[in-house]
Structure 1
Amino acid sequence: MADFRQATLEDAPALLDLSLRAYAPIRELGIHFAAATADLALVEKNVRENMCFLMEEEGKIISTISARMPWGPSPGPYGVPHLWWFASDPDTGRSGIGREMITWAEDAMIRDTLKSPAVSLGTADRHPWLIDMYKRRGYEIQGSNNLGKGHLTVYMKKILIPDMPGQGGH
């Protein structure tokens, strides 16, 4: 049974290890995500400045995702929580942990706790399957931007509370 919680600074070394192992294929693709080449200081900064969530099984961190807040130092583009730094342990031998992690973050934290009508994320246009995966999860492409990382960042948004007043549609 998996447990979910918010990360603390004490989790940073394990989160760094997880991130570097999970993002190895991203480095091989030449895509420049911050998490792919993170160091301990960057992980600690993420834990301090954002809502960094993790999933544990038998005391071991097996997945993580972070949400940058609209009022924080690195807001997303749409005034809603912005998911990033999503990683799952490639060595667990168990499929579906990433799906469990993102579903918990979207539903339990972003929708039910923060009462946010929507959530956004960004991914690389050059990644071979992430855009399609997020589309299957209900995200819609909103635009893109060249952030100088060697790829276009494709911004996507998912409506979590369809009838909330003031959500501004898609």
Structure 2
Amino acid sequence: MRKVCRLATLEDAERLRHVIYEAYVTIRELELQWPAANANLALVQDNILKNDCYVLELDGEIAATLTLSKEKLNRWNVDLPFVKWFAVGPEYQGLGLGTELLVWVEETIIRDKLGAFALTLATAEKHPWLLAMYERKGYERIESIDRGNGDGTMHLLRKIVNPHLFEAQIRSKEKQEAHQ
């Protein structure tokens, strides 16, 4: 079994569209207004071009994907890397491949390459298992919002991937506030 984590290319778009569409069945059933849930090929291609879309291949087949957004999250007012479009193909669910890709992005990309102390993602409270899953993976709720679009309460979650840098950020912020 050969596993490879890498950036997606436009040649991956059709397979990614399939993986995301099949993995987001529950999102569509809940009628959540998430662009990835009904993404067509053009939207997937746009995501690959505008963001950092990562995949985990198992024996040459894309099994899981997630996107590190390059857009500023104005609605959340948080300046940390944001993960979206996280999906595992149904035939690969339950094998730990999604967790493996997520941890690889958290450590290799967010912590080591970008030098960030944490990352964020958002999920809907009304989804039956996503919030609990992310909390089991070490994410904590930091903000909630209801945009009035039918999604209900959305939670912004954060995971600290570099505790030393996080502590240094807090001390620096406390010093700045003390001098004001």
Aligned pair count reads 167
Distance across 2 between alignment mates of 1:93 and 1:153: 24
Q: How many percent of aligned residue pairs carry the same amino acid?
A: 37
* Aligned equivalent of 1:3: 4
* Aligned equivalent of 2:67: 66
* Residue type of the alignment partner of 2:140: E
* Aligned equivalent of 2:169: 166
For the 8 Å contact 1:23–1:87, the answer to whether it is kept is yes
Distance across 1 between alignment mates of 2:40 and 2:4: 25
Distance across 1 between alignment mates of 2:12 and 2:83: 19
* Aligned equivalent of 2:178: none
* Residue type of the alignment partner of 1:39: N
- SS in structure 2 opposite 1:61? strand
Q: How far is 1:18 from its partner? A: 0.8
Q: How far is 1:13 from its partner? A: 1.1
* Aligned equivalent of 1:136: 136
For the 8 Å contact 1:52–1:67, the answer to whether it is kept is yes
> 1:7-156 residue pairs with structure 2 within 5 A?
7-69=8-70, 72=71, 77-92=77-92, 95-151=95-151, 152-156=153-157
For the 8 Å contact 1:120–1:157, the answer to whether it is kept is yes
Give the aligned CA root-mean-square deviation in angstroms: 1.9
Distance across 2 between alignment mates of 1:126 and 1:154: 10
Deviations 1:125-168 (A, max 9, x none): 11111111111111110111223431222101111111213266
Deviations 1:93-130 (A, max 9, x none): 65211111111111111111111110000001111111
Q: Which runs of 5+ in 2 are unaligned?
A: 175-180
Q: How far is 1:45 from its partner? A: 1.4
* Residue type of the alignment partner of 2:40: D
Distance across 1 between alignment mates of 2:77 and 2:52: 17
- Using the size of structure 1 for normalisation, the TM-score is 0.89
Which has the greater radius of gyration?
Answer: 2
- SS in structure 2 opposite 1:30? coil
- SS in structure 1 opposite 2:67? strand
- SS in structure 1 opposite 2:91? coil
Q: How far is 1:25 from its partner? A: 2.1
Distance across 1 between alignment mates of 2:61 and 2:94: 14
* Residue type of the alignment partner of 2:8: A
Deviations 1:42-91 (A, max 9, x none): 1111111111000011211100001113xx36566421110110000101
Distance across 2 between alignment mates of 1:79 and 1:93: 31
Distance across 2 between alignment mates of 1:124 and 1:116: 25
Distance across 2 between alignment mates of 1:108 and 1:33: 27
Q: Which has the higher helix share?
A: 2
Distance across 1 between alignment mates of 2:159 and 2:53: 19
Distance across 1 between alignment mates of 2:99 and 2:121: 15
- Using the size of structure 2 for normalisation, the TM-score is 0.85
For the 8 Å contact 2:72–2:79, the answer to whether it is kept is no
